[in-house]
Amino acid sequence: MKERLRHTAKRLTTNDRSEDGGRPSRERTDDGPRVPRPKRARSAAVAPSGVARSAAGAAPILPPESGAPHVLIVGGGGTGGALAHDLTLRGLRVTVVERGEITSGTTGRHHGLLHSGARYVTTDRAAAIECSAENKILRRICPGSFEENDGLFVAITDEDAAYEKRFLEACWECAVPSRRIEREEALRMEPGLNPELRFAIQVPDATMDAMRMPLRFFATARCNGADIRPFTEVVAVTMAGRTVSGVRVRDRSADREYEIGADIVVNAAGPWAGRVAALAGVTVPVAPSPGVMVAVRGRLCNMVVNRLHSPGDGDIVLPQRQLTVVGTSSWLVDDPDDLAIAPEQVEAIVRGSAELVPAVAKAEIRAAWSAARPLIGGSGAGSGGSTGSGGSTGSGAAGGAAGRELGREWQCFDHATDKTPAQGFVTVAGGKATTLRAMAEGTADVVCAKLGLVRPCSTNDVVLFPHSAWYSA
Amino acid sequence: MNVRFRISRFKSGDRKRRFESFELEVELGATVLDALLAIRRLLDPSLVVRHSCMHASCGTCGVRVNGREVLACDTKIAGLPAGKPILVEPLRGQRPVADLATDMVDFYARFDAAGLPLVRAAEVPAGTEPPDGIKAFGRFENCIECGLCLSACPIARWSHSYIGPAALAAAARVVAEPRSLGLGPVLALAGEHDSVWRCRDAMQCTAVCPSAVDPAGALLDLRRHVAAGGLKRLFGRGAKLA
């Protein structure tokens, strides 16, 4: 009884204090929720201890600009992290809220491919061109974060071989370096390939650690003053009329609610973007499209191995530490939190991948999981005023069953121009892990334009802190 | 199947942890992480749990299940004793965030001291030739920085000056493959506070490691190097360890 009374009393005081309503001050040091509160890393603590891991010293520590506009980002995935980094470099005050751990949504779950762009050259040229450019930039600003072993597109059947000409031409048109490799040479590079292959095409694919690469954006953003709050779920978007004034969040680590004021709220919630948009009374045409991936024991290749045909199910094999990841499939769902996997999907993916690397079929399965891509299209397509752009709009076909026909482009929606507008509310959706920096650049351009600021993007050249800086005290 | 979980709960501001029970229906192949996320989705949205990759590659979902350090994503419910509630607790020795989440700051303060680069040389079958433009195949280090070994180590639990198994295994990797790093700092680290000599061979680190790093074995290698360095200092360059 005594315990309960004390508990109640504590809650009341917590609530009192938490109604801060206004803008969060980064200097606030009240004893509120403890750890998720970012600790601004001291540069000394962050400097990699004599490590070849990165030239992190190149990332500047900017003094936070007092009185600068405040941008609140909903979603702690790769897009939110890259956007926080971009906006802090442009001198804005930034807060990121994420309902779970950073990168716990789609970002951390993808197969870890740093796209060369080749996968999309025949189906989505704009995405291919952008991937090709971003591939080079990310290698430059995230040194040490990739297994830079290149990739192969392998032709096994007549049908695959017939695809070669179209594929090579499209690679050339999209500025994706490509080179034909004869069968024997390919087998010398990757002895685990299906010996029945006809030939292969080498492209500059690479693999990344799906969590640690984006974590570098978060680490650098926080060092530059961004306030990043995991385990903080948005429960409402606060509005004055049709103008967004901030968000109301529930801090899951302390079980309390409070408000955060903002000049602009950016919805970067990936496949959950539709839910966040609904809180502001607007819609976004985001279709959660899960894909299944399977990790088997053993490192069965060093290069990324793709099937030479248009993107389909079970046509990619990637090395990852001592595992091999194979994927993937594609379908559409309503609830990105409920991504049940049918055993048939796992079997189909393993079967398809084993045509590329036969040892996959006999390897022990370590894990099978799914991640929801935030594809643009589906219901509500076209309702948002599209501003930033990663390329041409895909087919926009609504109600497709698989999501393969939806483009991989990304878009930034300024909801001020919607039929039922929400001023000060922007959604960024779509895209790939490989294009996170470009998505952030385009979205930050929109945010700055809305604030009437002319601030150029500089994320092209700023080398990021190593991922471990995220955990520095 | 119907499974009962007893989960350690804690919120910032709470005086102590308590246990809360949840019952739910899980599918045969479900992992502990699947169940925790289902509990969060269906029964209690306030449950705080760390996770990211879902396939034992990122190292964020380390917890203790029935007292044993595991990755929740890598622990099949069907493999646990049936009929008993499944006990889920956070890792030991790390600062609590809430519920099952811990802050990895202390882990990284130790681990980072070894300065291990993320990418190492990949093993390749004999006769393999990397393609044009690639000097040698590389791959990420085995250690996924999950902290299970640090939580399981009986010495690290009581002594904060002991840098613990993950950091010593990282140091051993630098010694085995220095890349461009000098060995001086890393051997000094291993010798500091008698780090390599404080291990009492409990072998818990190697037993719980989900990524075959074998910290206990790495530590034995490191001891040889540190000892050899010590002998050289005592007897000059020619000294060899028997």
- Residue B58 is nearest to which of A49, A108, A233, comparing CB atoms? A108
DSSP secondary structure letters along A196-243: T--EEEEE--EEE-TTHHHHHHHHHHHHTT-EEETTEEEEEEEEETTE
**A246 DSSP β-pair partners:** A238, A261
Residues in A closer than 8 angstroms to B180, CB to CB, are 52
- What is d(CA A166, CA A65) in angstroms, rounded to the nearest whole number? 51
Give the pLDDT band (50/70/90) at residue B157. Answer: confident
A vs B, Cβ pairs < 8 A, gives 199
Q: What is the pLDDT of residue B226?
A: 86
Minimal Cα–Cα distance from A177 to chain B, Å?
A: 12
Give the pLDDT band (50/70/90) at residue B229. Answer: confident
Q: What is the pLDDT of residue B104?
A: 96
Q: What is the pLDDT of residue A176?
A: 97
* Distant-in-sequence, close-in-space partners of B220: CB < 8 Å, separation ≥ 6: none
Q: What is the pLDDT of residue B234?
A: 63
Residues in A closer than 8 angstroms to B62, CB to CB, are none
Q: Give the type of residue at A259.
A: E
Taking CB atoms and an 8 Å limit, are B12 and A254 in contact across chains?
Answer: yes
* Distant-in-sequence, close-in-space partners of B206: CB < 8 Å, separation ≥ 6: B149, B213, B214, B215, B216, B217
Region of residue A57 (left: phi > 0; alpha: psi -120 to 50; beta: else): alpha
Q: What is the mean pLDDT of residues B9-33?
A: 95
- What is d(CA A109, CA A153) in angstroms, rounded to the nearest whole number? 23
- Residue A52 is nearest to which of B109, B132, B180, comparing CB atoms? B180
Q: What is the pLDDT of residue A43?
A: 33
Main-chain dihedrals φ then ψ at residue A107, nearest 5 degrees? -50, -55
Report the 10 Å Cβ neighbour count for A238: 18
The helix/strand/coil state of A135 is helix
> CA of B110: which chain A residue's CA is closest?
A472
Residues in B closer than 8 angstroms to A325, CB to CB, are 55
Q: What is the pLDDT of residue B31?
A: 96
Q: What is the pLDDT of residue A13?
A: 29
- What is d(CA B106, CA A317) in angstroms, rounded to the nearest whole number? 36
- Residue A147 is nearest to which of B45, B129, B139, comparing CB atoms? B139
Give the pLDDT band (50/70/90) at residue B231. Answer: low
Taking CB atoms and an 8 Å limit, are A367 and B73 in contact across chains?
Answer: yes
- What is d(CA A347, CA B171) in angstroms, rounded to the nearest whole number? 40
Give the pLDDT band (50/70/90) at residue B194. Answer: confident
Q: What is the pLDDT of residue A403?
A: 62
Taking CB atoms and an 8 Å limit, are A468 and B111 in contact across chains?
Answer: yes
Residues in B closer than 8 angstroms to A36, CB to CB, are 97
- Residue B117 is nearest to which of A51, A101, A210, comparing CB atoms? A51
- What is d(CA B153, CA B54) in angstroms, rounded to the nearest whole number? 25
Burial of residue B201 (number of CB atoms within 10 Å: 0-12, 13-18, 19+):
exposed
A5 or B186, which is more confident?
A: B186
DSSP secondary structure letters along A341-401: --HHHHHHHHHHHHTTSGGGGTSPEEEEEEEEEEEE-STTTT-S-EEEESSS-----TT-S
Taking CB atoms and an 8 Å limit, are B101 and A210 in contact across chains?
Answer: no
According to DSSP, residue A333 is labeled: -
Q: What is the pLDDT of residue A52?
A: 29
- What is d(CA A247, CA B164) in angstroms, rounded to the nearest whole number? 42
Nearest to B140 by CA among A41, A472, A325: A325
Taking chain A (473 residues) in runs of 10, the rounded mean pLDDT of each run is: 34 31 35 34 32 37 69 98 98 97 96 96 93 98 97 97 96 96 97 97 97 98 97 97 97 96 98 97 93 96 95 91 92 87 92 97 95 77 35 32 66 93 96 96 96 96 96 83
Residues in B closer than 8 angstroms to A14, CB to CB, are 13
Taking CB atoms and an 8 Å limit, are B12 and A202 in contact across chains?
Answer: no
DSSP secondary structure letters along B155-220: HHHH-TTS-HHHHHHHHHHHHH--TT--SHHHHHHHHGGGHHHH-----HHHHH-TT---HHHHHH
CA separation (Å) from A471 to A36, A102, A292, B112?
A: 11, 12, 30, 10
Taking CB atoms and an 8 Å limit, are B45 and A302 in contact across chains?
Answer: no
Burial of residue A182 (number of CB atoms within 10 Å: 0-12, 13-18, 19+):
exposed
Taking CB atoms and an 8 Å limit, are B101 and A321 in contact across chains?
Answer: no
Tokens standing for A162?
Answer: 């017939």
Helix (H) or strand (E) holding A446: helix A436-450
- What is d(CA B222, CA B196) in angstroms, rounded to the nearest whole number? 7
- Residue B113 is nearest to which of A33, A49, A147, comparing CB atoms? A49
CA separation (Å) from A26 to A101, A116, A225, A460?
A: 20, 39, 8, 27
Q: What is the pLDDT of residue B197?
A: 86
* Distant-in-sequence, close-in-space partners of B126: CB < 8 Å, separation ≥ 6: none
Q: What is the pLDDT of residue A27?
A: 36
Minimal Cα–Cα distance from A450 to chain B, Å?
A: 33
Minimal Cα–Cα distance from A263 to chain B, Å?
A: 28
ipTM of the predicted structure? Answer: 0.94
Taking CB atoms and an 8 Å limit, are A471 and B118 in contact across chains?
Answer: no
Residues in B closer than 8 angstroms to A337, CB to CB, are 37, 41
Burial of residue A420 (number of CB atoms within 10 Å: 0-12, 13-18, 19+):
exposed
Report the 10 Å Cβ neighbour count for B1: 11
- Residue A322 is nearest to which of B119, B124, B212, comparing CB atoms? B212
Backbone CA torsion sign across A170, A173, A178, A181: positive
- Residue B48 is nearest to which of A147, A179, A252, comparing CB atoms? A252
Residues in B closer than 8 angstroms to A150, CB to CB, are 131, 133-134
